[in-house]
């Protein structure tokens, strides 16, 4: 598949949360370079990124509101609407870590991470979704993580929040389809200030710039994909799938022993199916039974 010329965001308005540094900054700078008008959201660093964008001839404003409250999320979207008149792109990138082993994780550490990653994304997405719905166009990108998709030692709170974002992204894709709103998730592998000292230094070789092409493609007008998850890092790009096997069909009264006996059939991946919704999973089960 080829595109006619460079992919551009000319005339589009984009919000990037957590854009004061790291990946968020990289997304914002490239969006601006390709013509988007930017709302750069972060509690710290947003003004410096806006200065960079303006120095390069772009249009941007800093939005220092916290995504962790409903009022903050609404204010971020209102900043975009007030300054530029629309919201076309939203990248839910804001995040924090409060790593702790599962046995020692506190309620406060759980809530802090959920507030920024999961509730924070919802707080910004809801008003943005409403604005996109009115215009009949929108691109949503939720930044998940391999920690959520596959698990990671000492990151139960972070992993739970990041997997929650997958459900939010997929639901937004289903509900937004009739309004021209596409929604996807990306799991970046990149060094950022948030990864300092983690993974034994193994992630240090992953340049954030290598994630940008996948992320920005997914929020571009050229992209026709929705309801999908992608991994990007170190020059490798891959699709992540959540699927279901064909499984084994029991008799009228299956027992625990039956399940044990047929585990190989239940787990067989040869005929993996990728339902596009809960409704499709129900229909699949009904058709097989």
Judge whether 38 and 59 are in contact, CB under 8 Å. yes
pLDDT of residue 202: 44
pLDDT of residue 73: 98
- C-alpha to C-alpha distance for 212 and 281, rounded to whole angstroms: 33
From the CB of residue 279, how many other CB atoms can be counted at a distance below 10 Å?
10
- Letter string b/e over residues 204-230, b meaning 16 or more CB atoms within 10 A of that residue's CB: eebebebbbebbbbbbbbebeebbbbb
Long-range contacts for 204-210 (Cβ within 8 Å, ≥24 apart)?
Answer: 205/234, 206/233, 206/234, 207/234, 208/22, 208/23, 208/26, 209/26, 210/234, 210/235
Q: Where are the beta strands (DSSP E) in the chain?
A: 13-16, 37-41, 60-63, 89-92, 138-143, 181-188, 229-233, 236-240
Judge whether 96 and 116 are in contact, CB under 8 Å. yes
- C-alpha to C-alpha distance for 187 and 169, rounded to whole angstroms: 12
One domain, residues 134 and 233: yes
What average pLDDT does the segment 1-7 reach? Answer: 74
One domain, residues 73 and 204: yes
pLDDT of residue 194: 53
User: What domain range includes position 272?
Assistant: 256-288
Mean pLDDT computed over every residue of the chain: 93
Residue 174 sits at φ, ψ, to 5 deg, of -65, -45
- C-alpha to C-alpha distance for 273 and 108, rounded to whole angstroms: 39
Residue 8 has pLDDT above 50, yes or no: yes
One domain, residues 66 and 176: yes
Q: Where are the beta strands (DSSP E) in 70-204?
A: 89-92, 138-143, 181-188
pLDDT of residue 191: 64
pLDDT in tens, 87-113: 999 999 999 999 999 999 999 999 999
Instruction: Work out the pLDDT band at 82, boundaries 50, 70, 90.
Output: very high
One domain, residues 40 and 92: yes
Residues whose CB falls within 8 Å of the CB of residue 109, separated by 6 or more in sequence, listed in order: 98, 100, 157
Instruction: Work out the pLDDT band at 205, boundaries 50, 70, 90.
Output: low
Looking at per-residue pLDDT, the higher value among 59 and 205 belongs to: 59
- C-alpha to C-alpha distance for 111 and 69, rounded to whole angstroms: 12
One domain, residues 196 and 89: yes
Residue 247 lies in a domain: no
One domain, residues 95 and 167: yes
Residue 251 lies in a domain: no
Q: Which of 174, 85, 90, 159 is nearest to 124 (CA)?
A: 90
Residue 170 lies in a domain: yes
Residue 228 lies in a domain: yes
Q: Specify the 3-state DSSP secondary structure of 212.
A: helix
Residue 7 lies in a domain: no
Residue 132 lies in a domain: yes
Q: Which of 145, 147, 150, 185 is nearest to 167 (CA)?
A: 185
CATH number, domain with residue 51:
3.40.50.720
One domain, residues 186 and 283: no
Overall number of domains in the chain: 2
One domain, residues 104 and 189: yes
Tell me which DSSP letter residue 256 carries.
H
What are the residue ranges of helices labelled H in 177-242?
212-218
What average pLDDT does the segment 237-246 reach? Answer: 94
Instruction: Work out the pLDDT band at 234, boundaries 50, 70, 90.
Output: confident
pLDDT of residue 190: 79
179 assigned to active site: no
One domain, residues 225 and 264: no
Measured on CA atoms in the order 82, 29, 207, 224, is the torsion positive or negative? Answer: positive
Q: Express as a percent the part of the chain with pLDDT over 70.
A: 93
pLDDT of residue 193: 54
One domain, residues 233 and 273: no
- C-alpha to C-alpha distance for 272 and 289, rounded to whole angstroms: 17
One domain, residues 19 and 89: yes
One domain, residues 180 and 262: no
């Amino acid at each position: 598949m080829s595109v006619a010329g460079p992919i551009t965001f000319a005339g589009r308005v984009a919000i990037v949360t957590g854009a004061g540094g790291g990946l968020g900054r990289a997304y914002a700078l490239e969006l601006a370079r390709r013509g988007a008008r930017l709302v750069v959201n972060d509690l710290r660093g947003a003004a410096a990124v806006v200065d960079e964008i303006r120095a390069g001839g772009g249009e941007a404003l800093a939005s220092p509101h916290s995504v962790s409250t409903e009022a903050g999320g609404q204010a971020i979207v209102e900043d975009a609407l007030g300054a530029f008149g629309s919201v076309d792109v939203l990248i839910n990138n804001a995040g924090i870590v409060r790593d702790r082993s599962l046995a020692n994780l506190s309620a406060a550490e759980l809530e802090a991470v959920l507030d920024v990653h999961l509730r924070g994304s919802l707080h910004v997405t809801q008003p943005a979704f409403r604005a996109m719905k009115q215009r009949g166009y929108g691109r949503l990108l939720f930044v998940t993580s391999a920690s959520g998709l596959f698990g990671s030692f000492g990151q139960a709170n972070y992993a739970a929040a990041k997997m929650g974002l997958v459900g939010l992204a997929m639901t937004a894709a289903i509900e937004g389809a009739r309004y021209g709103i596409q929604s996807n998730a990306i799991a970046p592998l990149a060094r950022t200030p948030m990864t300092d000292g983690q993974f034994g230094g193994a992630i240090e070789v992953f340049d954030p710039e290598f994630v940008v092409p996948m992320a920005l493609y997914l929020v571009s007008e050229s992209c026709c994909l929705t309801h999908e998850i992608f991994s990007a890092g170190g020059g490798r790009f891959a699709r992540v799938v959540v699927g279901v096997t064909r499984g084994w069909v029991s008799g009228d009264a299956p027992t625990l022993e039956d399940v044990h006996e047929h585990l190989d059939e239940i787990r067989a991946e040869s005929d993996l199916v990728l339902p596009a919704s809960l409704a499709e999973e129900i229909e699949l089960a009904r058709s097989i039974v």
